[in-house]
Amino acid sequence: MSRLFFLLMMLCGSISAASRTPNPPIPEPPSFDWSLTMSSHEWVYFLVFEPLHHPERIRNRGGFFTNVTGTSEGDWGWEFAGDSSQWLSLGRNLSHVVAAWPRSLQAIGWVLRVATSPNMIEAPQWANLAYGTRTREPWFRQRFTHLALGGIFWSQVYSYASLSSMPAGGPVTALWWQANEQYNRTWESYGASSPQSTLSGFELSNMTLRELARNFMNEITSRQNRRENGELTDGEVLVLRQLLNWDPEQDPNRDFPLRAAGHVTRLETQAMRSVNWEGIPGTPPHLLPRLIAGVATLAECAATYRSIFRHPRRSEESIEDTACKLQGLPEGCQSGSCVSLFARARQELGSDDGEVCRTEKGQGQCGHRLQYEVPGEMAKVSGVQKMPIPGCERIRQVVFALAMTPVLIDTYSHLNVQVGGQGPDSLIPLNHVDRRKGPLISKTIGLKNVFGSETVHLADLKMIKLFDTPKPYDLFGSTKWTIEGLWLQAECASSNKVLRMSKFGQENKEVQHGLTGWDIETIWEGTFSLEDWHEVKSNRAKTRHES
């Protein structure tokens, strides 16, 4: 078992740099007069399917890029989007995008939350996009709203989720999102380009569609690109060229495919994916998709090891056999000194991880058992968060608090909060919230419903998501409003200590439900770690048994 622990740590801990090769010289295409206007930043969603694609493979390549080998002229026009198209289809409505998941094919799917970028264009309403949009469904036009030329970069992927974490027919709020540690917030300074009918493939031109596409990339990385409210500065153009790895001045021969300028590759992924995690009793179900895909973090590997070791199916017999094998003894331990067995076991397992304890003294037949305890803070494991406040490894009550700025014309709306867990029960309603009144609302989180236990590990709380559902009779969309701050407060299970997470206490973020109908929608989310908790004075009265 200790070897499994070290295997997990090794699998989740090593990275190396990747390299790239330059493109051969390509003639400069003729110039073209583009009309470019870049919209504000927003989130769009993109589907990928295994076995060809999964988040770790996309990360290793630096992004999801189209293959230009063997492409035809029509592949460069977005109207003819197909299997070999140079355009990716994305949508701003998560529910509509996830609806394109072909469950009948038993495909393992992932959804990526992506920041818009200038190599994307907003798709016209009459566009015939991929994933079977030539259908009679009345909402198919809303399914995919954006097209990305050449692909998307891993650095613009904010988070990703396995579709298998969502039950069939369940809401998209059941998805369990994993934050991308390499996400670059600089993408949020830019947005998608305006629709470009010239790139559809229908309009006549003295250039090929590939030449037009290359010219378009040159143009969006120049001073000709502009926002709705003004031009880009020289510095903003330079940053955009670095993000897209496309600089027509430094590399006049730059051509497709898109590629990342430099990214890290996790060498442990192939080994992690070779393990039959589904066949190991005790593997945490919510981490199973990440382990199979090879994207589990070091902390998640440590949690997996702890869960596997503590699983009840590890019987006393198998534990005894494990202890025997540590010294290379046959089953039954018909051999030597218990002391030597004890010493060898500590050497194999590590003094802080566990030990084989004697139950009989003396020489001869050795009775023994394997005893294991995981330190609450996992302080000896590099890269795993340490418990900042001793005695608060587990908590028994959590209260969520939200402060908002009152608005003038808004009436009742439905807000929900999610602080962890997965499934429909993880969505906590805040009832009918009148945002005209403000300024503070709070809600006690039912840990039993969300996590299945009356107490949970503090480390299991690592994100907050706020959802909004507009009123069905609000024909003009939801009103903008401001989140002044969000907090969590928790009571420790084994002490009277009270912890507070105040990372987002001064958020001051303006939010609004999108103009995409009356579906539930994520309007704010944030992640935090153990280091963001701090102890506060408890208001609970002490009993006569407490000092």
Q: Is the pLDDT of residue 89 over 80?
A: yes
Q: Is the pLDDT of residue 328 over 90?
A: no
Average pLDDT of the segment spanning 480-506: 88
Shared domain for 432 and 507, answered yes or no, is: yes
Question: Is 187 among the domain residues?
Answer: yes
Q: Is the pLDDT of residue 508 over 90?
A: no
Average pLDDT of the segment spanning 87-97: 91
User: For 221, what's the count of Cα atoms within 13 Å in the CB-facing half-sphere?
Assistant: 23
Q: Report pLDDT digits (tens) over 99-124.
A: 877 665 556 789 999 999 999 998 87
Q: Which stretch of 48-62, 178-192, 265-279 has the lowest confidence by average pLDDT? A: 265-279
Q: Is the pLDDT of residue 144 over 50?
A: yes
Shared domain for 11 and 88, answered yes or no, is: no
* Between 11 and 498, residue with greater pLDDT: 498
Q: What percent of the chain has pLDDT over 70?
A: 60
* Between 350 and 234, residue with greater pLDDT: 234
pLDDT of 19: 37
Domain holding 508: CATH number?
A: 2.60.60.20
Number of domains observed in the structure of the chain:
4
Shared domain for 7 and 156, answered yes or no, is: no
Question: Is 289 among the domain residues?
Answer: yes
pLDDT of 277: 81
Shared domain for 191 and 213, answered yes or no, is: yes
Q: Is the pLDDT of residue 483 over 60?
A: yes
Q: Is the pLDDT of residue 544 over 60?
A: no
Q: Is the pLDDT of residue 181 over 80?
A: yes
Question: Is 508 among the domain residues?
Answer: yes
Average pLDDT of the segment spanning 4-28: 49
Confidence of residue 539 (pLDDT cuts 50, 70, 90): low
Bond into 439 cis (ω within 30): yes
Q: Which stretch of 57-71, 150-164, 343-357 has the lowest confidence by average pLDDT? A: 343-357
pLDDT of 115: 97
Average pLDDT of the segment spanning 364-371: 38
Query: Averaging pLDDT over each range in 9-13, 251-255, 308-312, 387-391, which range is the top one?
Result: 251-255
- DSSP readout, 170-232? --GGG--EEE-TT--GGGGG--PBPP-GGGGS-S--SS-HHHHHHHHHHHHTSTT-EETTEEP
Question: Is 79 among the domain residues?
Answer: yes
Question: Is 32 among the domain residues?
Answer: no
Q: Is the pLDDT of residue 251 over 80?
A: yes
Give the range of the structural domain holding residue 333, as residue numbers without chain letter.
Answer: 316-372
Shared domain for 228 and 356, answered yes or no, is: no
Confidence of residue 471 (pLDDT cuts 50, 70, 90): low
pLDDT of 202: 75
Shared domain for 167 and 191, answered yes or no, is: yes
Shared domain for 57 and 8, answered yes or no, is: no
Q: How many CB atoms lie within 10 A of CB 77?
A: 21
Strands (E), 119-171: 120-122, 146-149, 151-153, 157-162
Question: Is 491 among the domain residues?
Answer: yes
Two tokens, residue 149: 């030329």
Q: From CA 496, how far away is CA 542, in angstroms rounded?
A: 9
Average pLDDT, the chain: 71
Q: Is the pLDDT of residue 351 over 60?
A: no
Shared domain for 55 and 176, answered yes or no, is: yes
Question: Is 273 among the domain residues?
Answer: yes
Shared domain for 330 and 280, answered yes or no, is: no
* Between 547 and 33, residue with greater pLDDT: 33
Shared domain for 194 and 275, answered yes or no, is: no
Question: Is 30 among the domain residues?
Answer: no
Shared domain for 302 and 350, answered yes or no, is: no
Q: Is the pLDDT of residue 22 over 50?
A: no
Q: Is the pLDDT of residue 333 over 90?
A: no
Q: From CA 517, how far away is CA 519, in angstroms rounded?
A: 6
Q: Is the pLDDT of residue 207 over 50?
A: yes
Q: Is the pLDDT of residue 343 over 50?
A: no
Domain holding 89: CATH number?
A: 3.90.210.10
pTM of this prediction?
Answer: 0.48
